[in-house]
């Protein structure tokens, strides 16, 4: 399973242009299907200099960077939650993503409802809330039989659903609803759109240079505690098409230190609160993304179910200590390698060597 982000926004906001920019990757990366899986789904590798250093140290033939899935759906029009436009089908596709990237256009274009970027973003947000209200309504129906038979659990869920409904009706996303003890499970099983974190992308271009977002949009993002970044999707897509050696001078011309898509992907990873651990085994060096707080056993299961089943322990060393030592054997001798049990909480940047009964 990989982590996924869904790109949402009004039609013509520049979603597919951003998708193209994100999926324009160097084919030089070894045999990993970093391809567009579907016209609208792709696996995007994340830059990871720690992995590159580890691969060099271990002379790995194959390097598998961390990656996230990105899903591009058709624009959401007003009424999408009621099935207008291409709405419903795509809202369905978004239920399973982990994060939303909300693209808001700053340029003028034919379909530009609302009065400025913030009000356009509000149209999309309202559709997401309306779709969630439908989901909540369906769930309320579904628990009727349990309620009738006197289930206390169903009664608790009903109270929660009503509180959630009120909150959504007030125009607020589900992620801002303070949860009481035991309510998280109720919320998670609903797969709501507005319970996902959001990263706003202001696609406002002035001669290719990202423009400052308007204050109303900044305020909207701030009030929701969602980050907002600014880029020019068209320019980013152009960068992606350039041969690697031409990128730096091109970026410099626009006063950019790096493609803004790199920044965007870093931000996605931060929002998802993922850490990376590494395995260097045989000819492959690989990075794995897991939620912060993952145990050594959980990490083993991510690599292979057999490793989790027969888990004995894991040798652990941070990537830089391993590099400093010059290899695992030397690191062991220097006492820099620890042996940890199944409940050990893996930290970002650690290299894990699992011992398991096969």
Contact positions with Mg ion (CB under 5 A) in 174-213: none
What residues does 64 pair with on adjacent strands? Answer: 286
Q: Which residue is nearest to ligand GTP (CB)?
A: 75
> Which pairs with CB-CB distance under 8 Å and at least 24 residues apart come from 208-212?
208/232, 208/234, 208/235, 208/238, 208/254, 209/235, 209/254, 209/255, 210/260, 211/106
- Binds 65: which of ligand GTP, Mg ion, none (CB < 5-8 Å by kind): none
What residues does 202 pair with on adjacent strands? Answer: 104, 230
Q: Whose Cβ is closer to ligand GTP: residue 16's or residue 135's?
A: 16
- Name the minimum Å distance from CB 106 to ligand GTP: 8
In terms of phi and psi (left: phi > 0; alpha: psi -120 to 50; beta: otherwise), the region of 14 is left
- Binds 211: which of ligand GTP, Mg ion, none (CB < 5-8 Å by kind): none
Give the binding site for ligand GTP (CB under 6 A).
Answer: 9, 11-17, 74-75, 107, 109, 203, 205, 232-234
Examine residue 17 and tell whether it contacts Mg ion (CB under 5 A): no
Stretch that binds Mg ion, among 12-20, 52-60, 82-90, 292-300 (CB under 5 A): 12-20
Under 8 Å between Cβ of 50 and 278: yes
- Name the minimum Å distance from CB 347 to ligand GTP: 39
Stretch that binds Mg ion, among 8-16, 153-161, 163-171, 278-286 (CB under 5 A): 8-16
Please tell me the distance from the alpha carbon of residue 178 to that of residue 194, in angstroms, as a whole number: 14
- Name the minimum Å distance from CB 114 to ligand GTP: 15
Half-sphere exposure of 52 (CA within 13 A, CB side): 6
- CA torsion sign, 145 to 147 to 153 to 159? positive
- Name the minimum Å distance from CB 76 to Mg ion: 11
The count of chain residues that interact with Mg ion, using the rule CB under 5 A, is: 2
Examine residue 16 and tell whether it contacts Mg ion (CB under 5 A): yes
Angle at 271 between CA 289 and CA 341, to 5 degrees: 35
The site map against Mg ion for 228-267 (x = CB under 5 A) is ----------------------------------------
């Amino acid at each position: 399973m990989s982590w996924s982000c869904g790109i949402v926004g009004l039609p013509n906001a520049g979603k597919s242009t951003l998708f193209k920019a994100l999926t324009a990757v160097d084919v030089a990366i070894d045999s990993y299907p970093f391809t567009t899986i579907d016209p609208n789904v792709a696996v995007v590798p994340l830059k990871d200099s720690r992995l590159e250093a580890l691969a060099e140290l271990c002379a790995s033939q194959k390097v598998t960077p961390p990656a996230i899935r990105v899903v591009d759906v058709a624009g959401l029009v007003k009424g999408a939650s009621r099935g207008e436009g291409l709405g419903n089908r795509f809202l369905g596709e978004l239920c399973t993503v982990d994060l939303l990237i909300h693209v808001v256009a700053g340029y003028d274009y034919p379909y530009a409802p609302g009065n400025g970027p913030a009000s356009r973003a509000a149209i999309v947000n309202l559709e997401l809330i309306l779709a969630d209200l439908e989901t909540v309504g369906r769930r309320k129906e579904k628990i009727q039989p349990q309620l009738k038979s006197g289930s206390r659990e169903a009664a608790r869920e009903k109270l929660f659903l009503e509180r959630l409904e009120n909150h959504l009706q007030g125009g607020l996303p589900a992620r801002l609803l303070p949860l009481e003890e035991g309510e998280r499970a109720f919320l998670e099983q609903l797969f709501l759109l507005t319970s996902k974190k959001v990263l706003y992308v202001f696609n406002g271009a002035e001669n290719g240079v990202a423009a400052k977002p308007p204050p109303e949009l900044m305020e909207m993002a701030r009030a929701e505690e969602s980050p907002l970044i600014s880029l020019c999707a068209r320019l980013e897509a152009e960068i992606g098409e350039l041969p690697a050696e031409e990128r730096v001078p091109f970026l410099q011309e626009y006063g950019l230190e790096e493609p803004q898509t790199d920044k965007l992907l870093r931000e996605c990873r931060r929002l998802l609160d993922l850490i990376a651990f590494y395995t260097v085994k045989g000819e492959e060096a690989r990075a794995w993304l897991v939620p912060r707080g993952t145990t050594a056993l959980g990490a083993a299961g991510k690599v292979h179910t057999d490793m989790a089943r027969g888990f004995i322990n894991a040798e652990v060393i941070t990537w830089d200590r391993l590099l400093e030592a010059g290899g695992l054997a030397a690191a062991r001798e220097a006492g820099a390698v620890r042996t940890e049990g199944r409940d050990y909480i893996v930290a970002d940047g650690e290299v894990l060597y699992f011992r398991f009964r096969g």
